[in-house]
Chains A and B, each alone.
Chain A
Amino acid sequence: MTERRMLPLLPHGSGHLAPPQAFPRRAKVAVGDTQLRANIRRATHTIRDKRAHVVDEVDDWEELREAGRALKERVARHLPELLERFEQAATAAGATVHWARDAAEANRIVTELVRATGSDEVVKVKSMVTQEIELNDALERAGITAYETDLAELIVQLDRGEQSHILVPAIHYNRTEIREIFRREMPDTDDALTSDPAVLAEAARRHLRRKFLSTKVAVSGANFAVADTGTLVVLESEGNGRMCLTLPETLISVVGIEKIVPTFADLEVFLQLLPRSSTAERMNPYTSTWTGVREGDGPQDVHIVLLDNGRSATLADTVGRQALACIRCSACLNVCPVYERTGGIAYGSVYPGPIGAIISPQLTGVERNKSLPYASSLCGACYDVCPVKINIPEVLVHLRQTGVDGARERPSAERTAMRTLAWVMSDQRRYENALRAARTATGPIAGLLAGKRTPPGGPAGTLGHLPWPLSAWTVSRDAPLPARQSFRDWWRKTHGEAR
């Protein structure tokens, strides 16, 4: 940690990564949204049970998790040489590899590549990284229309809304709402359109069919990039990915530099971990791999944009770098009690939930993203389900510490309180005096503050209302009061002065 401060400052990333207001403020709004709460609760509970079932069926799950974690550590520690190997292999196979330091540079590269084809539209495979860099907006400014083809991304795009989940960005809509969006925004629909998911999927199929068959340029991300072979891998369900990866003449893939896996054989681990953790299936319906250009089969003009955008800065933190192991399965979102109550939009980043709370602040720098590391009760459910064993609670606490350390010079009531408390706790006499003071002062103070010690009708030994900042507690809970006799006083009375 001290090591880290000595390092030259590495540039952070930019894009859709930080909430415009602090998380608690946005969460307050989300928590009060009845429909949102019902939609997220239903969806997360559905997938939670399915995931548990399909993971329980694998008796070597822990061994797979450990292998996945270790492979990602290997990649992190040797990223430069693996990236070079990937570039070499992909180039030899006919792809053109580009490098982008940040979001703006990646957007510029993609825009120029699309312009060079003469096309003013692209079809897109669902890709987190292009949402991170806000590529669609950049293309639009250049007069290029991007068509999202993943069903969930399509729903969000048609509604001009925001993504709220890594795997299913439209998880905050229910079928009725989706039906309304389709009816409103999709030509060729009529009132016969029902909210049956199969009917809605069929409508999406008809809506995008001609686009797939006629668009000359596709943009994708990648789940994995194989260093040895220069191969890119995309896992998907609907076939929109295959359409985009196979039919257009030009394919541009934006790939975060952390997506590398060393060898093709290493995919044997991730192709088992990812589908079961994300869609809770033994295998997702479609996985495509491609290596450069293959004559007569698929796009003949293949580009790969390797993106940093804060990833090297993340890598510099020896505790936080494990976040780069994330394979974007979203299992941690689905089990997170905080995410379940707020949904993803409250996080203000394309990466919401527990993993987002450690990825987003690291990509942007904690200074620009102070509230997200605190958007967790540290319950640890995320760590338990993570297929690559990212210790999310550990990194959350570490990032809180980074934020606290970074603000050492600025005065803060919290810091003063923490320091005072630590000072008191560091000495037996101070501690015992404080215990005594707390017990003797509580009564009168409580009496003054609340006019009464026990809320009328409330349990004995509790307080109904406390002033700010403790009002944050008593807004919904009674507060406990110190006991008449501390434990140590009881001990002295019954056992004498020990030690």
Chain B
Amino acid sequence: MSTAREEIMTRLAIALRDVPADETADQVPVARDYRHAGESDPARLLDLLDERVSDYRAAVHRCTLDDLGATVTRLLTERGSGTLLVPHDVPEDWHAGYTGTVYRDSANFPYPLATLDETDSVLTGCAVAIAETGTLVLDSGLTQGRRAITLVPDHHICVVESEQVAATVPEALARLDGTRPLTFISGPSATSDIEFNRVEGVHGPRHLDVILLP
């Protein structure tokens, strides 16, 4: 008796008898004349990202690297966050001035889910941002930590540096490594499941602060 895999492969071969045996996948033409590049001026790109992220009702803040600690502290204070979790490689400057408890999560010393659940806020960087769609992409790389930490706490502060901003989806994907675990974030958690009306705030972080650095 053949295995399921063999049988499915046989079925597919029968089903595709009309495809010439010497045709390769690349020979099936795909016209890629859609737009790849978009806005290239860094300042205008940052403005576009600002506008598009704001459209999702996420809060966008602009500051310099020097002001970053103060900005983060202000956001945490405004929200009354007593606990902050950061990936171990986030520079301490990013939250300089914050007086609450800071958990530094690392692969060697990951906090249990229960701790993440009790943590008020999480602060990370990102790998790439997409201006046209207002999207942040995290790839578990530097300053981003593992996926769970940006998911369980109810408040996520994400820092975007100007050179991380791509204009379009194609530009963004070209900068990413598809084999890393990727999380594309476009605004806070939301749903359209009730009468097709979008409301923010379901299971993921209900509050998303995005800080744009020039």
Contacts and interface: CB of A to CB of B under 8 A. Distances in A.
Are A and B direct contacts in the complex by CB distance below 8 Å?
Answer: yes
Interface of A: 3, 7-8, 10-11, 39, 42-44, 46-47, 50, 59-60, 63-64, 66-67, 70-71, 73-74, 77-83, 93, 98-101, 105, 149-152, 155, 167-168, 170-171, 174-175, 178, 197-198, 200-202, 204-205, 208-209, 212-213, 226, 228-231, 237-240, 242-243, 246-247, 257, 262, 264-265, 267-269, 271-272, 279, 281-291, 294-298, 306, 308, 312-313, 315-316, 318
A235 B196 CA distance: 17
Contacts of A240: 202-203
Between A8, A83, A285, A308, the greatest number of chain B beta carbons within 10 A of the residue's beta carbon is seen for A285
Contacts of B148: 246-247, 297-298
Nearest to B2: A101
B28 A74 contact: yes
Contacts of B30: 67, 70-71, 74
B179 A93 contact: yes
Nearest to A77: B19
Nearest to B55: A282
Contact of B14 (A212, A213, A229, A316): A316
A213 B35 contact: no
Contacts of A268: 169-170, 173
Between B35, B190, B196, B201, the greatest number of chain A beta carbons within 10 A of the residue's beta carbon is seen for B196
B147 A149 contact: no
A63 to B, nearest CB: 4
A474 B185 CA distance: 55
Given A226-B178, A240-B203, A67 B8 contact: no
B165 to A, nearest CB: 15
B43 interface: no
Rank and list the top 6 A-B pairs by shortest CB-CB distance, nearest first: A239-B204, A264-B178, A239-B203, A312-B11, A238-B202, A316-B15
Interface string B91-115: 0000000000000000100100110
Contact of A10 (B14, B23, B134, B196): B14
Given A70-B30, A99-B3, A208 B15 contact: no
B65 interface: no
Interface in B27-51: 28-35
Nearest to B20: A77
A200 B195 CA distance: 12
B163 to A, nearest CB: 20
Contact of A312 (B5, B15, B169, B176): B15
Contacts of B195: 39, 42-43, 46, 171, 174-175, 197
Nearest to A235: B184
A213 B196 contact: no
A44 B147 CA distance: 35
Contacts of A289: 178, 181-183
Contacts of B114: 213
Contacts of B55: 282
Given A78-B25, A81-B25, A178-B194, A291 B19 contact: no
B181 A312 contact: no
A22 B169 CA distance: 44
Nearest to A167: B192
26 contacts: A46-B196, A60-B34, A63-B31, A70-B29, A70-B31, A71-B30, A101-B4, A149-B203, A168-B196, A175-B195, A204-B203, A239-B204, A240-B203, A242-B183, A271-B169, A272-B169, A282-B186, A284-B186, A286-B186, A289-B181, A296-B146, A298-B148, A312-B8, A312-B11, A312-B12, A316-B15
A201 B201 contact: yes
Contacts of B147: 242, 246, 288, 297-298
Nearest to B137: A287
Nearest to A208: B203
Given A99-B4, A209-B117, 10 more contacts: A50-B196, A70-B28, A70-B30, A77-B25, A150-B193, A155-B193, A198-B199, A212-B203, A282-B133, A283-B135
B158 to A, nearest CB: 13
Nearest to A179: B194
B130 interface: yes
B45 to A, nearest CB: 15
Interface in B166-214: 169-170, 173-174, 176, 178-205
B22 interface: no
A288 B31 contact: no
Contact of B181 (A150, A152, A286, A294): A294
Contacts of B134: 282-283
A3 B53 CA distance: 52
Contact of B204 (A50, A93, A238, A312): A238
Contact of B184 (A247, A287, A318): A287
Between B8, B24, B200, the greatest number of chain A beta carbons within 10 A of the residue's beta carbon is seen for B8
B183 A287 contact: yes
Given A197-B194, A238-B203, A288-B183, A265 B173 contact: yes
B208 to A, nearest CB: 9
A105 B201 CA distance: 38
A204 B133 contact: no
Given A238-B204, A240-B202, A10 B24 contact: no
B89 to A, nearest CB: 14
Given A99-B3, A265-B174, A239 B189 contact: yes
A3 to B, nearest CB: 7
Given A213-B113, A308-B8, A204 B202 contact: yes
B46 to A, nearest CB: 17
A78 B187 CA distance: 37
Given A74-B30, A238-B202, A286 B183 contact: yes
B142 interface: no
B52 interface: yes
Nearest to A317: B15
Contacts of B174: 265
A151 B197 CA distance: 13
B18 interface: yes
Contacts of B151: 239, 242-243, 246-247
A198 B194 CA distance: 9
Contact of A80 (B12, B28, B189, B201): B12
Contacts of A202: 201
